Amino acid sequence: MKAMLWLLVLGLLSACTHQVRPVVQQAPTALSTYSLHHYTTQLSEQLFMQLEAQRGRAEGVAVASFLPVNSLSLTHTDSTERQLANQLAENMLVHARQHGLTVYDYRLRNNVLLTADHEQALSRQLDAIDPASDADTLLTGTYTQMDDGWLVNVRLIRLQNKQVLAAASGYVPANVLWPKQQVDKRGDTLYRRSKSGEIE
């Protein structure tokens, strides 16, 4: 009886040790769970570390929208791409100030505009702003659309002689501006798919 019980226990142990568990592999994804701020923080660390290392000077920094590298124009881009270009500039403006640089925002209106439901201090209308600026350095950049995101290049340029004081490069996944939506690529175009499945 004891011998039979031992054979049964050994059989069960043997079956357990030979049981192969399936390995679950997740498909690689380029979609990010981080916000754009995460990626611009990495860019800014690269950029401003160069200034510190070479003791470069940037007395006053103005920040411009990022542009597609091939056309250097946002004129024929869609609203999503323009949003990315402007948000990259906005985030880098914040990082520049946080790194101790003096930053000038040349979009400031000469007078605050009062409307029925809000106040507006910034403008893109040349007749509403003072074009003069004390900035001596421009922070700007370019981007290139890839299969599942953008290759982003950022630089600090001295306005007087166009010298590049510092430059950095990084990658931004396609979904950073709409993390809860699925991104599809068809040809050369990125489409956002909402939770309901509708393509935007």
Residue 133 lies in a domain: yes
At residue 177, the pLDDT reads 73
Residue 99 lies in a domain: yes
Residue 131 lies in a domain: yes
Amino acid in position 162:
K
At residue 2, the pLDDT reads 57
The whole-angstrom separation of Cα 56 and Cα 179 is 37
Tell me the whole-structure pTM to 2 decimals: 0.69
Q: How many structural domains compose the chain?
A: 1
Residue 114 lies in a domain: yes
Residue 43 lies in a domain: yes
The whole-angstrom separation of Cα 175 and Cα 149 is 8
Residue 96 lies in a domain: yes
Contact 71, 150 (CB under 8 A): no
At residue 39, the pLDDT reads 92
What does each C-alpha distance from 86 to 93, 108, 150, 192, 199 come to in angstroms? 11, 16, 14, 19, 23
At residue 8, the pLDDT reads 53
DSSP β-ladder status, 61-63 and 108-114: unpaired
Contact 145, 68 (CB under 8 A): yes
pLDDT along the chain (200 residues), means of 10: 56 52 44 82 92 72 93 90 92 93 86 86 77 85 91 93 94 76 56 47
Residue 80 lies in a domain: yes
The whole-angstrom separation of Cα 53 and Cα 102 is 18
CATH number at residue 148: 3.40.50
At residue 183, the pLDDT reads 54
Which domain, by its residues, includes 169? 32-193
Outline where DSSP puts E strands in the chain: 61-63, 67-68, 103-104, 108-114, 119-122, 137-145, 149-158, 164-173, 182-186, 189-193
At residue 7, the pLDDT reads 54
Please list, residue by residue across 11-31, b when 16 or more beta carbons sit within 10 angstroms of its beta carbon and e when fewer do. eeeeeeeeeeeeeeeeeeeee
The whole-angstrom separation of Cα 79 and Cα 67 is 13
Residue 21 lies in a domain: no
